[in-house]
Amino acid sequence: MKKGFFDRVENNAAVRTWAEMTQREKAQNNLQELKEIWDQWNNKARQLFYLNYGDLPYLLDMKIDKRLFRALA
Protein backbone atom coordinates (compact mmCIF):
# COMPACT_ATOMS: atom_id res chain seq x y z
CA MET A 1 0.00 0.00 0.00
CA LYS A 2 2.82 2.44 0.80
CA LYS A 3 4.42 1.86 -2.57
CA GLY A 4 1.18 2.68 -4.37
CA PHE A 5 0.85 5.90 -2.40
CA PHE A 6 4.39 7.01 -3.21
CA ASP A 7 3.90 6.17 -6.88
CA ARG A 8 0.86 8.44 -6.96
CA VAL A 9 2.78 11.22 -5.19
CA GLU A 10 5.60 10.95 -7.75
CA ASN A 11 3.10 10.95 -10.62
CA ASN A 12 1.32 14.00 -9.18
CA ALA A 13 4.63 15.83 -8.83
CA ALA A 14 5.53 15.03 -12.45
CA VAL A 15 2.14 16.25 -13.69
CA ARG A 16 2.43 19.43 -11.63
CA THR A 17 5.92 20.14 -12.98
CA TRP A 18 4.72 19.59 -16.54
CA ALA A 19 1.68 21.85 -15.99
CA GLU A 20 3.80 24.67 -14.53
CA MET A 21 6.29 24.44 -17.39
CA THR A 22 3.51 24.49 -19.99
CA GLN A 23 1.86 27.47 -18.30
CA ARG A 24 5.15 29.44 -18.31
CA GLU A 25 5.71 28.68 -22.00
CA LYS A 26 2.18 29.80 -22.93
CA ALA A 27 2.45 32.99 -20.89
CA GLN A 28 5.79 33.85 -22.47
CA ASN A 29 4.34 33.30 -25.96
CA ASN A 30 1.36 35.51 -25.17
CA LEU A 31 3.64 38.27 -23.92
CA GLN A 32 5.80 38.03 -27.03
CA GLU A 33 2.72 38.22 -29.28
CA LEU A 34 1.48 41.27 -27.38
CA LYS A 35 4.86 42.99 -27.81
CA GLU A 36 4.84 42.25 -31.55
CA ILE A 37 1.36 43.74 -31.92
CA TRP A 38 2.41 46.77 -29.88
CA ASP A 39 5.45 47.34 -32.13
CA GLN A 40 3.23 47.34 -35.23
CA TRP A 41 0.99 50.15 -34.02
CA ASN A 42 1.63 53.71 -35.12
CA ASN A 43 1.74 56.67 -32.74
CA LYS A 44 -1.92 57.56 -33.23
CA ALA A 45 -3.11 54.09 -32.20
CA ARG A 46 -0.73 54.09 -29.22
CA GLN A 47 -1.95 57.48 -28.03
CA LEU A 48 -5.54 56.24 -28.16
CA PHE A 49 -4.52 53.20 -26.15
CA TYR A 50 -2.79 55.42 -23.56
CA LEU A 51 -5.89 57.58 -23.28
CA ASN A 52 -8.08 54.54 -22.61
CA TYR A 53 -5.78 52.57 -20.30
CA GLY A 54 -3.55 55.16 -18.63
CA ASP A 55 0.05 54.30 -17.82
CA LEU A 56 -0.41 50.54 -18.06
CA PRO A 57 0.93 50.36 -21.67
CA TYR A 58 4.26 51.84 -20.55
CA LEU A 59 4.95 48.51 -18.86
CA LEU A 60 5.21 46.92 -22.31
CA ASP A 61 8.39 48.92 -22.92
CA MET A 62 9.98 48.12 -19.55
CA LYS A 63 12.15 45.19 -18.60
CA ILE A 64 10.29 43.39 -15.84
CA ASP A 65 12.30 41.97 -12.96
CA LYS A 66 11.89 41.12 -9.28
CA ARG A 67 12.48 44.72 -8.19
CA LEU A 68 9.64 45.99 -10.37
CA PHE A 69 7.24 43.37 -9.00
CA ARG A 70 8.19 44.34 -5.44
CA ALA A 71 7.66 48.02 -6.22
CA LEU A 72 4.22 47.33 -7.68
CA ALA A 73 3.12 45.05 -4.85
Q: How many Å apart are CA 60 and CA 36, to the nearest integer?
A: 10
> pTM for this structure?
0.33
What are all long-range contacts of 47-52, with beta carbons under 8 Å and residues at least 24 apart?
Answer: none
Which residues neighbour 62 within 8 Å (Cβ) at sequence distance 6 or greater? Answer: 68
pLDDT by 10s per residue, the chain, length 73: 556 666 666 667 777 888 787 777 766 667 778 788 878 878 888 788 888 888 777 776 667 777 877 777 6
Q: How many Å apart are CA 46 and CA 58, to the nearest integer?
A: 10
- 3-state DSSP assignment of residue 2: helix
In 10 A of CB 36, how many CB atoms?
9
